[in-house]
Amino acid sequence: MSAVTAGARPSPAGPDDSGAGRGRHGARPFRVPVTTLRKRIGSTRRLEVQGRVEGLATLGVSVPEGAPVRADLELCSDPGGITATGTVTAAWEGECRRCGGTVAGRATSAVRERIVPEDSAEEDEDAYRMTADELDLEPLVRDAVLLELPLAPLCSGTCLGLCPRCGTNWNESPCDCRPLADPRWAALDQLRDPSG
Ligand SMILES: [Zn+2]
Ligand SMILES: [Zn+2]
């Protein structure tokens, strides 16, 4: 965990920013004081924070309860606001879309987002908002993770799935049902199956 302030115009560290990134792992780890950063236009600050974000889930895939989301960001101030660049990562768990078995992975999202003051006239619908002295990164972090959660994961690219007739898990054993091949679905599966 480190919080480094590096700017073209060094000046005494403000009392507000010191120690952010450390000692901020309580209930709101993603709340970052920004007064000093915004005072020094053009300065950047490296931020590594992690914490829990509630309710990170899509259909069948979720970040396990208690698993931290990690943000490794560089905040750069300019006259209109702050640009956050870096990565957000989180572990996820889900159900294989073919056999229903457990699948786990790690989502890594490349971030480049704009953050402007609440009262900013900047017409950027996608920009996140901050107060005069504090930036809450949680909405940004949440969106970044949700975007990277897989829609329909596979336990393995070669998962055989379940028999549609008797429900036997074909990864574990074959069954005696006659094959129910539908070439159209097989072709679609091939197309949607680049990564697993
Ligand atoms: Zn499977
Ligand atoms: Zn069967």
pLDDT, tens digit, 9 for 90 and up, residues 46-65: 999 999 998 899 988 999 98
Model confidence at 143: pLDDT above 50: yes
User: Mean pLDDT in the chain?
Assistant: 83
Q: How far is CA 26 from CA 34, 52, 117, in A?
A: 18, 10, 24
- Is 193 exposed, middle or buried, given 0-12, 13-18 or 19+ CB atoms closer than 10 A? middle
* pTM to 2 decimal places: 0.72
The DSSP line for 158-192 is T---B-TTT--BTTT---SSPP---HHHHHHHHHT
Q: How far is the CA of 93 from the centre of ligand 2 (A)?
A: 27
pLDDT, tens digit, 9 for 90 and up, residues 114-128: 999 988 876 777 899
Higher pLDDT residue, 68 or 11?
Answer: 68
Q: Strands 61-62, 57-58: parallel, antiparallel or unpaired by DSSP?
A: antiparallel
- CA 93, 99, 101, 103 torsion-angle sign: negative
pLDDT confidence tier of residue 180, bands split at 50, 70 and 90:
low
Q: What is the pLDDT of residue 150?
A: 92
Q: What is the pLDDT of residue 119?
A: 84
**How big is the chain by its Cα radius of gyration, in Å?**
23
Q: What is the pLDDT of residue 24?
A: 43
Identify whether the C-beta of residue 60 lies closer than 8 Å to the C-beta of residue 155. no
- Ligand nearest to the CA of residue 168, numbered in listed order: 2
Q: How far is the CA of 180 from the centre of ligand 2 (A)?
A: 9
Residues, CB-to-ion distance under 5 Å, ligand 2: 163, 165-166, 168, 175, 177
Spell out the domain ranges in the chain: 3-155, 160-196
